[in-house]
Amino acid sequence: MRIALDAMGGDHAPGPIVAGAVEAVHDQPGLTVVLVGDRDRIEAELAKAPQADLDRLPIVHASQVVGMEEKPVEALRKKRDNSISKCWGLMATGDVKAVVSAGNTGAMVGSALFNNKMFLPGVRRPGIAAIFPSHQGPIVLIDVGANMNAKAEDLYQYGVMGSIYAETILGVSEPKIGLLNVGTEDDKGTDLTKSTRAIYQKSPLAHRFIGNVEGRDIYEGHAHVVVCEGFVGNVLLKAGEGAVDFLFATLKQEMARLMSVVPAESGQAMASGLSALKSRFEYQEFGGAPLLGIRGACIICHGASGDRAIKNAIRVASTMADDKLNALIVEQIAAGHIAES
């Protein structure tokens, strides 16, 4: 398995990105991670890891980087030798089976969407899936920002693709699909939600479609796949991050106050409990968001990703490619339904 990693993408690249790749190839014997980016800087990072298996960490030089805040379309046009486009180039030629980047999300998606030869047969528009925690374990929210003009047919295909992801990667059998809406009644929502609902109900997925779900239902976990348009999903994903940060910042203040009134060892137990808890809410564990509907596998990581997040993203990317997830997507999109398992 060969995977291309955008070594220059991320708030702290290339340090933690290269470190994550070193750990990933150490953990997975058959894996090669192609490090794409500035050769000198990547070599400097590799030199810090004398245990690294350099044979499985080849470098492909790219002289340019798309900045995290740059306008994607413009940057991709002006910087022809950027690391993201080069990763996709390796995928287009079949040199790698997956692409992983913690860089500019717009540029990652833009590179994939520019060339609709990268779309899987039958797929209208690729979608980004994000993993949310819930009372019942992790669930999939799709789309979180690849498509700003979703049609009902797109939202149907997101349900197909999200379900296959939930089954093959999260291990959920017969995942239930919910349509994000402002109420559970049939006639709630917009023209888009109404027509999407109609498509699901007439489709062979009808028996797994649980209808409308509301914002709070995401965390209940009754739907394993929650379908929404990219604008809403993106806002939700980022608001969720903001809420967790805000809550833990407030908790930390409260803890500081408690620390002064409880014995030291209790304080330490609390602090370590809190930190263990926070990790359950962090994107690091989930390893990033897959872009579904393209040839090959693609994982988009959070800009702040550390080495653990990158290592996990590489693991998920190689599983996605291994599991023939795309073959299932093509088959079930063509059949217009998810086959009974």
The residues that touch a second copy, with contacts defined as CB under 8 A, are: 69, 71, 106, 133-135, 145, 148-149, 180-185, 187, 189-190, 214-220, 228, 230-232, 234-247, 249-251, 254-255, 257-258, 261-263, 265-266, 269-270, 273-274, 276-277, 280-281
> Where do the DSSP E strands lie in the chain?
2-6, 32-37, 59-61, 98-101, 127-132, 139-142, 177-180, 209-213, 225-227, 289-292, 297-300
Closer to a second copy by Cβ: residue 37 or 240: 240
Closer to a second copy by Cβ: residue 145 or 306: 145
Min dist CB 173 to a second copy, Å, is 23
Provide the sign of the torsion angle of the four alpha carbons 153, 94, 296, 205, taken in this order: positive
For 232, residues 6+ apart whose C-beta sits below 8 A from its C-beta are: 180
Strand 59-61 and strand 32-37: the pairing is parallel
Min dist CB 222 to a second copy, Å, is 12
Min dist CB 253 to a second copy, Å, is 9
Closer to a second copy by Cβ: residue 277 or 335: 277
Per DSSP, the three-state class of 145 is coil
DSSP per-residue letters across 107-128:
HHHHHHHH-GGGBPTT-SS-EE
Asked if 18 and 44 touch (Cβ cutoff 8 Å), the reply is no
Q: How many CB atoms neighbour CB 91 within 10 A?
A: 23
Asked if 194 and 155 touch (Cβ cutoff 8 Å), the reply is no
Closer to a second copy by Cβ: residue 150 or 325: 150
Edge to edge, the sheet with strand 297-300 lists 59-61, 32-37, 2-6, 98-101, 297-300, 289-292, 127-132, 139-142, 225-227, 177-180, 209-213
Min dist CB 149 to a second copy, Å, is 7
In angstroms, the Cα distances linking 5 to 86, 183, 199 are: 10, 41, 38
Min dist CB 260 to a second copy, Å, is 10
Closer to a second copy by Cβ: residue 136 or 201: 136
Min dist CB 301 to a second copy, Å, is 16
Min dist CB 175 to a second copy, Å, is 19
Closer to a second copy by Cβ: residue 115 or 184: 184
**Biggest CA pair distance of the chain:** 64
Closer to a second copy by Cβ: residue 53 or 248: 248
Closer to a second copy by Cβ: residue 49 or 271: 271
Min dist CB 272 to a second copy, Å, is 9
For 173, residues 6+ apart whose C-beta sits below 8 A from its C-beta are: 167, 341
